[in-house]
Amino acid sequence: MDAVKTGRGYAKWFNDDYLSLYAHRDEREARWLADLIAARFPPVRGGMTLDLGCGAGGHLPFLSAHQRTVGLDRSAWLLDVARDHDPGMPLVVGDMRCLPFRDGAFTLVVNLFTSFGYFADDAQNRRVLAEVARVMAPRGWLVLDFVNAPFTRQSAVMPGLPPADLGRAPQRRDVPPSRRFVRRTISLECEGKVFTEGVRLFEPGELTTMLLECGYTVADICGDYAGRPLTATSPRAIILAKRTENQL
């Protein structure tokens, strides 16, 4: 299994249980992040946005209000949920390592809500960034919304998150000795279900290096959805990167 997300398996995790656990966070934060993106990247005439790893489409209505938008996700089930909310939204099932789009198709690509770092092999994660560079127009932009690794490691040793973070579900987080991943175990005790999800903990500097290697210039890194600068205590590392004219 090359995907970091484990437990009952990818297909069984991204279902109605997933939506129930994260629904309130998606709804609350989607507009904040979409507003931040809109403030930084005005619409481009003839431009298109790709929401890479769009899931159930929580960000799509806000992104498409500014520019034509396409959503891609590996989960057909989640895309069906997104389609129920907006039947006219262009949605594609696909692997982010091999995108089914032509070169230079998008002026803006967004990867939100920690939808990166799913693969245990770093070369596969780097391949995602290279594929995004391929489908991005010269001088197009990438918004990579990731966890801030130092903050995540520190918070993982704290005794549980506030109940609002995952609603009704108790959870336990831990960082293995390698400190390269964070794991979260979520228990739905009333239903007898336990999920384990994990993600590769890239330092902001590691992400910057990968982006440079794949043909981007990093313009800014925000620490939260309000657009404040990144610090060691920031919960997010939201990287704003521009594709260079001469892609590597």
Angle at which helix 76-85 crosses helix 16-40, to 10 degrees, equals 70
Distance between CA 27 and CA 225 in Å, rounded? Answer: 13
Mean local confidence (pLDDT), 140-149: 96
Which amino acid does the sequence have at 109? V
pLDDT at 157: 54
What pLDDT shows up at residue 23?
58
What is the three-class DSSP state of 85?
Answer: helix
Per-residue confidence (pLDDT) for residue 10, from 0 to 100:
47
Instruction: Give the list of residues 6+ apart from residue 182 with CB closer than 8 angstroms, or none.
Output: 147, 152, 153, 156, 173, 174, 175, 198, 199, 201
CATH second-level architecture of 10-147+203-243?
Answer: 3-Layer(aba) Sandwich (3.40)
Report the mean per-residue pLDDT for the chain: 84
pLDDT tens column, 215-239: 999 999 999 999 999 999 999 999 9
How confident is the model over 9-21, as pLDDT tens digits? 444 555 566 666 6
Average pLDDT over residues 49-73: 96
Q: What are the structural domain ranges in the chain?
A: 10-147+203-243
Is 236 within 8 Å of 211 (Cβ atoms)? no
In the prediction, which pLDDT does 155 show?
81
